[in-house]
A = this chain, B = another copy of it.
Amino acid sequence: MEQLRLAIIGGDGIGPEVTSEARKVLRAALDGTVDLVETEFALGATHYLETGDILTDETIDAIAEHDAILLGAVGGDPRDPRLAGGIIERGLLLRLRFAFDHYVNLRPTALHPAVTSPLRDPGEVDFVVVREGTEGPYVGNGGSLRTGTPHEIANETSVNTAFGVERVVRYAFDLAETRSKRLTLVHKTNVLVHAGGLWRRITDAVAAEHPDVTVDYLHVDAATIFLVDRPSRFDVIVTDNLFGDILTDLAGAIAGGIGLAASGNINPDGTFPSMFEPVHGSAPDIAGTGTADPTAAILSAALLAEHLGHADAARRIRDAVDQDVAQRPAPTTTSETGDRIVALVAAA
């Protein structure tokens, strides 16, 4: 039987709770076809405050030995001064994305028929944001001078390379070919002319190889308007790391809340393990109450299964989630939701 080694990073807050439901569902979906070996890694704000370590090189090496990573959520109390400046987000989450060259941050958005969108008339909402994951303003190329004085200057540099942009744009076009063949580049070419020019030229060049894909372009500000006014105009969006961060939270909101938004941090080359995580955060305020919705984590596990070649298991997980969302009792608990979805997967 094929062996799949999963690195599990529950993380902080509701992270471990939702991850444990996702694991139950994944086991049910892969049951009998795969020998699933799960290794838990204690990482996150709590781990850091206890040990002083955020993510050691040894731990990165150990995680690298796995076929994929399932991550819950990381981040502690935002008001804790020991966690200021995104030390956990950057030292753990972004470090994993960069170390494992997760250049595709894949974020599908679909409005489930049983879910109420905050939009009055959402129309069809079914698109995927392909967010670049290893460049842009996320590279950590910032610094400050005369810090803390009235003469402080703080700079942040967005770094973009032809190599980095081309590979994610190619991925997006390939994805568009499997969907309704519409691709929208989102950037801010009228202000960020150098980065924007690079994105635009590469998109144009790759578009020439995909004559059947309809390509258009929107400035990021205009894209937010269309997400609210006519989300059906979108099929595949390809965009920069920061714009993708912003647009996918907005996309999650219009699809009824980021409680349902799954994501994959993908290294398409397969050199490193890809990492799957809900878009939501660690929500320390509801941790331990058993009220966190594990659906986004479970859908992230479906993305993981699909990525590892288990499209059938992925489809069964998604179908089970669809069914459960359509008839979900209220109130319900984190583990009840997991149990219902496990039962639906097993019955399929």
Contacts and interface: CB of A to CB of B under 8 A. Distances in A.
Contacts of A119: 118-120, 228
Interface stretch (A5-13, A194-202, A270-278, A303-311): A194-202
A258 interface: yes
A169 to B, nearest CB: 13
A343 interface: no
A333 B55 CA distance: 62
Number of copies: 2
Contact of A194 (B154, B249, B253): B154
Contacts of A154: 160-161, 194-195, 197-198
Contact of A253 (B118, B191, B229): B229
Contact of A137 (B89, B148, B192): B192
A291 interface: no
A252 interface: yes
A154 to B, nearest CB: 4
B229 A249 contact: no
B120 A194 contact: no
A144 B225 contact: no
Contact of A189 (B85, B143, B162, B246): B85
Interface in A138-153: 138, 142-144, 146-153
A142 B246 contact: no
Interface stretch (A65-73, A98-106, A173-181, A216-224): A216-224
A249 B197 CA distance: 22
Contact of A191 (B89, B148, B224): B89
Contacts of A160: 153-156
Nearest to A151: B162
A155 B158 contact: yes
Contacts of A147: 197
B220 A246 contact: yes
Contact of A249 (B89, B162, B221, B249): B221
Contact of A155 (B157, B242, B248): B157
Interface of A: 85-86, 89-90, 94, 116-121, 137-138, 142-144, 146-163, 166, 188-198, 201, 220-222, 224-225, 228-229, 242, 245-246, 248-250, 252-254, 257-258
Given A86-B193, A225-B253, 7 more contacts: A89-B191, A94-B191, A120-B120, A151-B161, A154-B160, A155-B158, A157-B157
5 contacts: A119-B120, A154-B160, A221-B250, A246-B246, A250-B250
